[in-house]
Amino acid sequence: METTSSPVYQPTSAPLSSRRHFRADKFDFWSFFFSGLTGLATLLIVGILVVILANIVYNGWRGFSWHFVSTIPKKDFFDINTTGVLPMIVGTAFRVVVMTIFVIPVGVITAIYLTEYAANNSIITRIIRAAVNNLAGVPSIVFGLFGLGFFINFVGKNMDYVLHNTSAVWGQPALIWSALTLAVMTMPVVIVATEESLKAIPPGLREASLALGATKLETILKIVLPQALPGIMTGGILAISRASGEVAPILFTGVAYYMASLPTHLSDQFMDLGYHVFVLSTQSPNIQQTQPILYATVLVLLLLTFALNIVAVLIRARVRKKLRSMH
Amino acid sequence: MPTNNQNSRRSHGWMGIHRGHKARPMEWLAEKFIFLVSLSAILMVLLIFLFVAREALPVFFGQTNTALVQKPIPPEDLEKHSAAELQAYLELTPEQYAKISKAGLRDLMSVKVDAQNDIPEDFRNDPDAQINTTEWQYMIKPHQWNGYAKPEYIWQPVGQVKKFNLIPLFIGTLKTTLIGLFFAVPLAVGAAIYVSQLARPRTREIVKPVIEMLSGIPSVVVGFFALIVMATVLQSVLRYETRLNAFVAGIALGFAVIPVIFSIAEDALTSVPRSYSQAALALGASRWQTAWQVVLPAALPGVFAATVLGFGRAIGETMIVLMVCSASVVSWNVFDSARSITTTIAAEMAEAVNGGPHYRILFMLGALLFAATFISNLIGDFVIHRFKQKLEGKR
Amino acid sequence: MADTLIPKIAPQETTATAAKSETPFIDIQNVCLYYGASKALKNISVQLDEKVVTAFIGPSGCGKSTLLRCLNRMNDLIDSVRIEGSIKIGGHDIYDGDVDVIELRKRVGMVFQKSNPFPKSIYENVAYGLRLHGIKSKSEMDGRIEESLRGSALWDEVKDRLHSSALGLSGGQQQRLCIARAIAIKPEVILMDEPASALDPIATARVEDLILDLKKEFTIVIVTHNMQQAARISDQTAFFYMGELVEFGPTTKIFTNPAQKRTEDYVSGRFG
């Protein structure tokens, strides 16, 4: 006996495509056009980067020399052959080092709290994260105002009062205040980089350590942190790179156009590469004469910040590759 | 393995495990310490807002008076006024006020009385001399000042009658920011679409870090490049009058903002589950159609957030606009110069008297800027948060 | 250290041994575990003897790993977990208020499903737990490390490269290293969560031989989804299903003549 049942799918409409081959019929113009357009956008962006870098390297190379980098200029900044940027480099380096001393411990400890200790949904965790995110978005000039209003006018002036200083020592623009302001500004960079490296460590390692009878602190200090060290370094380098290039936060908190000697104390003012470029390019009387000096100074600044950035990116890429092989 | 060794090492047997938390005070201390240090982030945000706003409060609450002709408070009436009023009247910071004795205050007040008496007669009748230029109506609405043909918005904090209208600064900020965004958003979003959806994976691995490198260039350098090279190039191409104008500043601003928008938008596009695009491709859509019709709409909240965060970054940028534009001109013409909020603060703080109305208004601008970026960051983060939740939770 | 060569015992002999009926070493009474609102372990009561191998078997998601992790309180690490009932090891309630969890974990060790050696040298991996115990002298450290590596049948393969990275070992070697690391601190109980599931058959066989050796010194509880493995190496078996303990008894009985129908269905492969 036949057991045919009527099929469920009974097509009544015609097939959509009558062709038998797989080649394209017509050229899909709009797809090609828009794909090309977005590709062009990408190319343009990369092109901008290349043009800026090339222009600076090309024009700055001539003035760049060992003499340039190691000379303390006399008051005249305008002769390419006798001027130098050593005080600016020292000023930048000094304030960045002081900043690092403050920002790395605080940033790393905060990141450790957020990844290892904090309950994920508690109110306090969310507030801390929101605070870090907001810190990252504050305009750099507001940091400058903060440095002026808090560090100089409040902390510094009170320090002078407590120490019975007759004239203002701490209650005025100084290297320490610039460094602290920059530390507050770059903290999110360190926190994000550290958190990223902590999260990348497989949880199995922590479990293994705890199962052997280690405490949480021991696990963090002996297993987790050593693994996260490259990531922390990346964060530090990115923070340094950012701090070396920022001018707005130091405008009111410690930078000077000309200092007769190199900065030695935390209460000294200092010269800075970026600030020098700014002042020279907007206020110099003879732009033709100062242009090669400017380019050379910008080249030095770029080498400092950009090179640091690349080093950080390279470290990060290498660490990612190594961790991927561990999973 | 002999059992003697085992037992001798654990002389308490299992009793040793009964010690609880009390055995480890270092752990507990370390945990509390770590927690306290993490609170510093919250503390910093609060401190920033507090101390910036603190300097601005007298202006905000209308306690300052810059009218040249004022009724001076006679020194005898020292006791009748509160500390805050006297600070505003004498233009002192709280620290300075605390250090001055009552006799010193009286001296300052008699100086003020003398100064009032010294104002020449003809100027006394000048209507401008009577105006408290730090009142809110003069800071926001246009006013016809002496010597001008019609009501104008003027920001001119130097001179005899200091004019503090904020509108030119807002316009300047908007001009440069909007130009920057119009330039940056299509480029950055387009590149994000290309890199995440259309390009080969190897291309993505190379291009993504390269574009992020753009953010490693300090803004001073971008400003310098715009000042020296771009301004000339753009002027020869577009042939406008002023070489250094808001247009050039806006384009340079765009350079700085592109990496921000790019990385967030690209991140959002890559977060869209592969299954969406694979389903579209399997139905015969081209890569572009998939990207435009399936992936981009799904990632729209993230792209929107990228724009908002880019906007926040743009209004807060100082050095680029500072190096390109210097004059404060009120006009909607993008080919005129412009002063933004940030550049004004940066350029004029050095000249402002510590504690004076100019100083306080600059701080007030800073507080407003902080509030604006705070809000835009909150919006941007909130949108991204909801977007990621939608991709994971409510899927 | 010549007394560490342990003769291998053929698998058939162990499964024939009946469970020793003494006072239970691990005494689990009426244990319920909740992940938030959902109940993952439903009123489990079972007593495990000392120095035998007990296997927890059952289909995926039946709670066997969850119960295992209760024994060294690794579930404490998860926020939403709540436990009722009592678990006593050696007569002491391990969930008592003043129990030091760190000490507990030194007495109850664990080997995980996915081998997780530290990214350090082989020597340092084993030395880590020893240092936690306060062993400082190098000679004692060397001696104990060799003892543990011999005990996990790894010594001959790595004795010439003790200071090379542990990550360079094969999967089976890494797992044996994790076992060496666990036994180095001389716990009384070793918990094993599917220790051979990620290994190839040859490495699995070596690990199984190891377990049979180790049970002379340690009480071993092993979770496995491989029934043949449970039959090969365990003395007692507990069968779990959907968070409940269905049946517990000597391994031979469970596999040849189980009392419950569900047990019989599972061991004969009718579901899984």
pLDDT digits (tens, 9 = 90+) for A59-71: 888 877 777 777 7
B113 vs A246, higher pLDDT: A246
Q: Edge-to-edge, what's the strand order for the sheet holding C81-89? A: C38-48, C26-35, C81-89, C92-93
Of A120, A208, A218, the CB nearest to C132: A218
Rg (CA), chain A: 29
Residue B121 has pLDDT above 80, yes or no: no
- B334: contact with A, CB 8 A cutoff: no
Residue B95, pLDDT score: 66
Residues of B in Cβ contact (< 8 Å) with C87: none
Contact between chains at C147 and B24 (C-beta distance less than 8 A)? no
Residue C8, pLDDT score: 40
Residue-by-residue DSSP string for B268-337: HHHHS-HHHHHHHHHTT--HHHHIIIIIHHHHHHHHHHHHHHHHHHHHH--HHHHHH-------S-TTS-
Non-local CB neighbours of C39 within 8 Å, separated by 6+ positions: C32, C33, C243
Question: Domain C24-267 belongs to what topology?
Answer: Rossmann fold (3.40.50)
Asked whether residue B172 is assigned to any structural domain, the reply reads yes
Asked whether residue B84 is assigned to any structural domain, the reply reads no
Residue C57, pLDDT score: 92
Contact between chains at C182 and A223 (C-beta distance less than 8 A)? no
Residue A3, pLDDT score: 54
Q: Are strands C219-223 and C53-57 parallel, antiparallel or unpaired?
A: parallel
Closest chain A residue by Cα to residue C130: A212
Residues of B in Cβ contact (< 8 Å) with C99: 17-20
- A314: contact with B, CB 8 A cutoff: no
Residue A90, pLDDT score: 87
Cα dihedral B296, B297, B298, B303, rounded to 10, equals 60
Task: In whole angstroms, give the CA distance from residue B227 to residue B221.
Answer: 10
- A106: contact with B, CB 8 A cutoff: yes
Contact between chains at C118 and A211 (C-beta distance less than 8 A)? no
**Across A193-211, average pLDDT:** 91
Residues of C in Cβ contact (< 8 Å) with A119: 79
- C102: contact with A, CB 8 A cutoff: yes
Contact between chains at B20 and C107 (C-beta distance less than 8 A)? no
Confidence band, pLDDT 50/70/90 cuts, at residue B70: low
Asked whether residue B290 is assigned to any structural domain, the reply reads yes
Q: What is the pLDDT of residues B272-286, one digit of tens each?
A: 888 888 888 888 888
Residue B7, pLDDT score: 35
Q: At what angle do helices B246-271 and B357-392 cross, to 10 degrees?
A: 30
Task: In whole angstroms, give the CA distance from residue A194 to residue A115.
Answer: 9
C190 vs A85, higher pLDDT: C190
What is the widest separation between alpha-carbon atoms in chain C?
Answer: 57
Around Cβ C40, how many Cβ atoms within 10 Å? 18
**Across B161-173, average pLDDT:** 82
Which of A85-94, A98-107, A281-290, B88-97 has the highest mean predicted lDDT (pLDDT)?
A: A98-107
Residues of A in Cβ contact (< 8 Å) with B199: 39, 42
Residue C5, pLDDT score: 40
Query: What ranges do the domains of chain C cover?
Result: 24-267
B5 vs A37, higher pLDDT: A37
What are residue C32's DSSP bridge partners? C84
Q: Name all chains with 3 or more CB-CB pairs below 8 Å to chain A.
A: B, C
Q: What is the pLDDT of residues A36-67, one digit of tens each?
A: 888 899 999 999 999 999 998 888 888 777 77
Asked whether residue B275 is assigned to any structural domain, the reply reads yes
Mutate to test the interface with C, among A125, A212, A220 (most CBs of C within 10 A): A212
| Plot region of B132 (φ>0 → left; ψ -120 to 50 → alpha; else → beta) | beta
Contact between chains at B20 and C100 (C-beta distance less than 8 A)? yes
Q: Please work out, in degrees rounded to the nearest 5, the angle formed at the alpha carbon of residue A268 by the alpha carbons of A264 and A274.
A: 95
Residue type, A229: L
Which of A20-29, A114-123, A174-183, A213-222 comes out lowest in average pLDDT?
A20-29
Of B6, B17, B22, the CB nearest to C103: B17
Residue B383: is it exposed, middle or buried by C-beta count within 10 angstroms (0-12/13-18/19+)? buried
C257: distance to nearest CA of chain A, Å? Answer: 37
Residue C66, pLDDT score: 92
C178: distance to nearest CA of chain A, Å? Answer: 9
3-state secondary structure of A305: helix
Q: Name all chains with 3 or more CB-CB pairs below 8 Å to chain C.
A: A, B
Residue B122, pLDDT score: 65
Task: In whole angstroms, give the CA distance from residue C198 to residue A282.
Answer: 67
Percent of chain A exceeding pLDDT 90 equals: 28
How many Cα atoms are found within 13 Å in the side-chain-facing hemisphere of B60? 13
Task: In whole angstroms, give the CA distance from residue B136 to residue B344.
Answer: 19
Percent of chain B exceeding pLDDT 70 equals: 83
Q: What is the pLDDT of residues C220-238, one digit of tens each?
A: 999 998 888 999 999 999 9
Around Cβ B174, how many Cβ atoms within 10 Å? 16
Residue B112, pLDDT score: 75
Around Cβ C190, how many Cβ atoms within 10 Å? 24
- B79: contact with A, CB 8 A cutoff: no
Residue B29 has pLDDT above 60, yes or no: yes
**Across C44-61, average pLDDT:** 91
Could you tell me if C117 and C168 are in contact, meaning their C-beta atoms sit under 8 angstroms apart? no
Confidence band, pLDDT 50/70/90 cuts, at residue C1: very low
What are residue C83's DSSP bridge partners? C33
Contact between chains at A214 and C182 (C-beta distance less than 8 A)? no
Task: In whole angstroms, give the CA distance from residue B208 to residue B262.
Answer: 9
Confidence band, pLDDT 50/70/90 cuts, at residue C79: confident
Confidence band, pLDDT 50/70/90 cuts, at residue A286: confident
Q: Edge-to-edge, what's the strand order for the sheet holding C53-57? A: C108-111, C189-193, C219-223, C53-57, C236-241, C244-250
Could you tell me if A94 and A270 are in contact, meaning their C-beta atoms sit under 8 angstroms apart? yes
- Full 3-state SS string of chain C: CHHHCCCCCCHHHHHHCCCCCCCCCEEEEEEEEEECCEEEEEEEEEEECCCCEEEEECCCCCCHHHHHHHHCCHHHHCCCEEEEEEEEECCEECCCCCCCHHHHHHHEEEECCCCCCCCCEHHHHHHHHHHHCCCCCHHHHHHHHHHHHHHCCCHHHHCCCCCCEHHHCCHHHHHHHHHHHHHHCCCCEEEEECCCCCCCHHHHHHHHHHHHHHCCCCEEEEECCCHHHHHHHCCEEEEEECCEEEEEEEHHHHHHCCCCHHHHHHHCCCCC
Residue B188 has pLDDT above 60, yes or no: yes
| Plot region of A114 (φ>0 → left; ψ -120 to 50 → alpha; else → beta) | alpha
Contact between chains at A142 and B366 (C-beta distance less than 8 A)? yes
Residue C135, pLDDT score: 86
Of A119, A208, A218, the CB nearest to C118: A208
Task: Give, in words, the CATH class of A60-324.
Answer: mainly alpha
Give whole-number Cα distances, B137 to B150, B279, B339, in Å.
17, 60, 21
Taking the model in full, what pTM does it have?
0.82
Residues of C in Cβ contact (< 8 Å) with B9: 186
Which of B138-152, B158-172, B309-323, C50-64 comes out lowest in average pLDDT?
B138-152
Identify the residue whose tokens are 């620290």: B95
Closest chain A residue by Cα to residue C69: A211
Cα dihedral C155, C159, C163, C165, rounded to 10, equals -60
Q: What is the pLDDT of residues A142-163, one digit of tens each?
A: 999 999 989 988 888 888 888 8
| CATH number for the domain harbouring residue B258 | 1.10.3720.10
Residue C19 has pLDDT above 60, yes or no: no
**Across C36-43, average pLDDT:** 90
- B6: contact with C, CB 8 A cutoff: yes
Query: In total, how many domains does chain B have?
Result: 1
Give whole-number Cα distances, A98 to A113, A171, A181, B23, in Å.
24, 18, 11, 38
Asked whether residue B211 is assigned to any structural domain, the reply reads yes
Residue numbers of A between 217 and 276 with CB closer than 8 Å to C: 218, 222-223, 227
Asked whether residue B154 is assigned to any structural domain, the reply reads no
Q: What is the pLDDT of residues A98-107, one digit of tens each?
A: 999 999 999 9
Closest chain C residue by Cα to residue B21: C100
Of C77, C116, C133, the CB nearest to A204: C116
Confidence band, pLDDT 50/70/90 cuts, at residue C32: very high
Residue type, A140: S
Task: In whole angstroms, give the CA distance from residue B365 to residue B370.
Answer: 9
Contact between chains at B19 and C90 (C-beta distance less than 8 A)? no
Which of A167-171, B377-381, C217-221 comes out lowest in average pLDDT?
A167-171
What are residue C27's DSSP bridge partners? C47, C88
Task: In whole angstroms, give the CA distance from residue B10 to residue C107.
Answer: 10
Helix (H) / strand (E) containing B163: strand B163-164
A74: distance to nearest CA of chain B, Å? Answer: 24
- B300: contact with A, CB 8 A cutoff: no
Mean pLDDT of chain B: 80
- C169: contact with A, CB 8 A cutoff: no
B9 vs B108, higher pLDDT: B108
Residue B9 has pLDDT above 50, yes or no: no
Residue B76, pLDDT score: 72
Task: In whole angstroms, give the CA distance from residue A257 to residue A280.
Answer: 9
- Domain of residue B360, residue span: 167-392
- Which residue, C113, C115, C114, is CA-closest to C223? C113
Task: In whole angstroms, give the CA distance from residue C258 to residue A127.
Answer: 57
Residue B1, pLDDT score: 37
Task: In whole angstroms, give the CA distance from residue A58 to residue B100.
Answer: 58
Closest chain A residue by Cα to residue B217: A306
Residue B221, pLDDT score: 92
Mean pLDDT of chain A: 85
Query: What ranges do the domains of chain A cover?
Result: 60-324
Residue B284, pLDDT score: 82
Residue B355 has pLDDT above 50, yes or no: yes
Structure tokens, B12: 């308490």
Of B24, B213, B322, the CB nearest to A309: B213
Could you tell me if C28 and C87 are in contact, meaning their C-beta atoms sit under 8 angstroms apart? yes
Residue C43 has pLDDT above 60, yes or no: yes
Around Cβ A117, how many Cβ atoms within 10 Å? 16
Residue A224 has pLDDT above 90, yes or no: yes
Asked whether residue B83 is assigned to any structural domain, the reply reads no
Non-local CB neighbours of A96 within 8 Å, separated by 6+ positions: A179, A182, A240, A243, A244
Q: What is the pLDDT of residues A162-182, one digit of tens each?
A: 888 777 778 888 899 999 999
What is the widest separation between alpha-carbon atoms in chain A?
Answer: 116
Confidence band, pLDDT 50/70/90 cuts, at residue B237: confident
**Across B43-67, average pLDDT:** 83
Structure tokens, B10: 């654990």
Residue C182, pLDDT score: 92
3-state secondary structure of A278: helix
Contact between chains at B224 and A149 (C-beta distance less than 8 A)? no
3-state secondary structure of B176: helix
Identify the residue whose tokens are 């070596």: C206
- B280: contact with A, CB 8 A cutoff: no
